[in-house]
Amino acid sequence: MFITLQAHQYARYPELMDRMFRLRKEVFADRLGWSVPVIDGCERDRYDDFGPLYLVWCDDEKKRLYGSMRLMPTTGPTLLYDVFRDTFPSDIDLVAPGIWEGTRMCIDEEAIAIDFPGLTPLDAFYRLLVALCECALYHGISMMLSNYEPPMRRVYRRAGVDVDELGCADGYGRLPVCCGLFEVSGPVLLKMRHATQITEPLYTEFPVAGRRLAIRVAA
């Protein structure tokens, strides 16, 4: 299942929160070689102290983690402006209530292989991307921003996501880091469903067919 955790819910799900930070360390520090803060086997930064919205893929008991992503409004502090500012042109303003930043997107390939043996890592990323689009639509987000390495372009393209790549820069890890702008809309979600063949709703708060979508903005 795909759920979101807000600041007042963090303490309710200690297993998910702990595993999320440990998975981020395994992916971004160990695998990608990014210069990120690591303490006691966990990757956390100051943006995790601002009460972000976490999109979490977990089991029905909300104890086993399969993937996660951090979502933050661009009207507040963001990695994009504070750390990855060189990845997009200086004359572009990306601060608006409807534009949110998505960071630290990662999946636990070992856990997925055990519990979803027919799902490849690429298929797992597709599911996380579709759930992200549903989540963003539900919360009234019109555009998503993300930093990623060049190999992710192929993943986005095959998932039916049109990325407006604003720029790239070196000096963050083993590969360049790019900045992309993603539209969030009903037509985009339909295109993603067609490309990935994921037709059922994934995000738990997303309405099933025939029900009206209630748009709201996360606190």
Q: Where are the domains of the chain?
A: 2-196
Residue 138 backbone phi and psi in degrees, to 5 = -60, -40
Task: Kindly give, in sequence order, each residue whose CB lies less than 8 Å from that of residue 34, ignoring residues fewer than 6 positions away.
Answer: 28, 172, 173
Tell me how far the alpha carbon of residue 134 is from its chain's centroid: 12
- What pLDDT, in 10s, does the model give residues 105-141? 999 999 999 999 999 999 999 999 999 999 999 999 9
- What pLDDT, in 10s, does the model give residues 6-48? 999 999 999 999 999 999 999 999 998 888 999 999 999 999 9
- pTM here is 0.90
Query: Using alpha carbons only, how large is the chain's radius of gyration in Å?
Result: 16
Amino acid at 174: R
- What pLDDT, in 10s, does the model give residues 160-209? 998 999 999 998 888 899 999 999 999 999 999 999 999 999 999 865 54
Class of domain 2-196: alpha beta
Say how far apart CA 155 and CA 71 lie, in whole Å.
20
Task: Kindly give, in sequence order, each residue whose CB lies less than 8 Å from that of residue 159, ignoring residues fewer than 6 positions away.
Answer: 125, 126, 129, 130, 192, 195, 196
- What pLDDT, in 10s, does the model give residues 64-93? 999 999 999 999 999 999 999 999 998 999
Looking at residue 213, what is its pLDDT? 39
**Termini Cα distance of the chain:** 22
Looking at residue 35, what is its pLDDT? 84
Question: What 3-state class would DSSP assign to 154?
Answer: helix
